[in-house]
Amino acid sequence: MFRPEDLLQDEIEYPEQTRQLQQNYPLSQADQQSLLRIRTRLGGQPAASLPPSAPREEMQTLPLRIPFHEALERPLVGQFLPSPMIQPPG
Amino acid sequence: MQQRSPAQGNQEFPPDDAALFDRYGPLLFAYILKHVRSREDAEDLTLEVFTAALQKKTLHQFRPEEQLAWLKKVTHNKLVDRYRKAQRRNDVNLDIFVEVLSDDDDPEQVVLRREIDHQLHQLIQRLPALQQQLLYLRYAHNLSAAEIGVLLNKNEGTIRQQLSRARKLLRASYLAQEQKGGY
């Protein structure tokens, strides 16, 4: 599962605990089916025909202020900067 | 965590893309599912994230933790974007401990494993939240310490230390239970 260089010393010394922990998190059937559906949809269409992800992710500049493992909260009013206005030529 | 690969052999789905999805799809889907109203929404949003990943041709040149950092950013931005559009949020509970048993298991083994899993589950739940999270990311999704560091905004060394500490605490809890005759 892990690359040898990724193993913790503790995992090397107690491989049985590692095995038990890995077995402790089985994927539910519902999740397996969801992932299968996503994978099929993802693989079933040529990249060119996939809907563009708008706006482009590279254009997003929102900082990741919310840790990945914590619940996201509804954005507060004024938390986000307004979209840049397009200036008329001239 | 290994998924069957329905798209294997499909020429539209290059092996690198399939590997990327198999590696991080379950994690990101679980995360998204926690934050949207329905499983269908979570599937759609996960598809959007990986569609963006497929369109970013240089992603495969990144190191794993850099790939995960990119996917994390895209996921986060899409969730925020969805909140902004929907202006409402309904929680969906995610039970990451749902047990899945294969049909060909020996019934006796099933009972034994269920009992062991239950004990372990209870002990894990007594750990501090951060340690539970570390164990989940490490052993449910087989992430490296560096990848977990990307998700939790900590450096790899810290993650390794905290993981080792969590494992030791878990063993100590298990031994304490045994000595008390609890298990």
Percent of all residues in chain A with a pLDDT value above 90, rounded to a whole number: 31
Task: Please tell me the number of Cα atoms within 13 Å of A32 on its side-chain side.
Answer: 16
Partner-chain contact A68 B21, CB within 8 Å? no
Q: Say how far apart CA A22 and CA B174 lie, in whole Å.
A: 17
Q: How far is B161 from chain A (nearest CA, A)?
A: 9
A21-59, pLDDT tens digit by residue? 998 888 888 999 999 999 999 987 654 444 444 344 443
Q: Name the residue among B21, B113, B144 with its Cβ closest to that of A39.
A: B21
Query: Cα–Cα–Cα angle for A16, A22, A26, nearest 5°?
Result: 140
Which residues of chain B register pLDDT less than 50?
1-11, 89-105
Searching chain B, which residue's CA lies closest to the CA of residue A22?
B139
Over the Cα atoms of chain B, what is R_g?
A: 19
- A58, two tokens: 């590279």
Which of the 8 DSSP states describes residue B11? T
Sequence-distant (6+) residues with CB within 8 A of B6 are: A36, A39, A40, A43
- If you average pLDDT over every residue of chain A, what do you get? 68
Sequence-distant (6+) residues with CB within 8 A of B3 are: A32, A35, A36, A39, B22, B25, B26
Section A62-86 average pLDDT: 47
Q: What is the ipTM of this complex?
A: 0.73
Q: Say how far apart CA B50 and CA B74 lie, in whole Å.
A: 9
- Asked whether the beta carbons of B72 and B150 are under 8 A apart, the reply is yes
Q: Mutate which of B22, B74, B139 to test chain A, going by most A C-beta atoms within 10 A?
A: B139
- Asked whether the beta carbons of B35 and B49 are under 8 A apart, the reply is no
Q: How far is A84 from chain B (nearest CA, A)?
A: 16
Is A70 touching B (CB cutoff 8 A)? no
Is A35 touching B (CB cutoff 8 A)? yes
- Asked whether the beta carbons of B162 and A69 are under 8 A apart, the reply is no
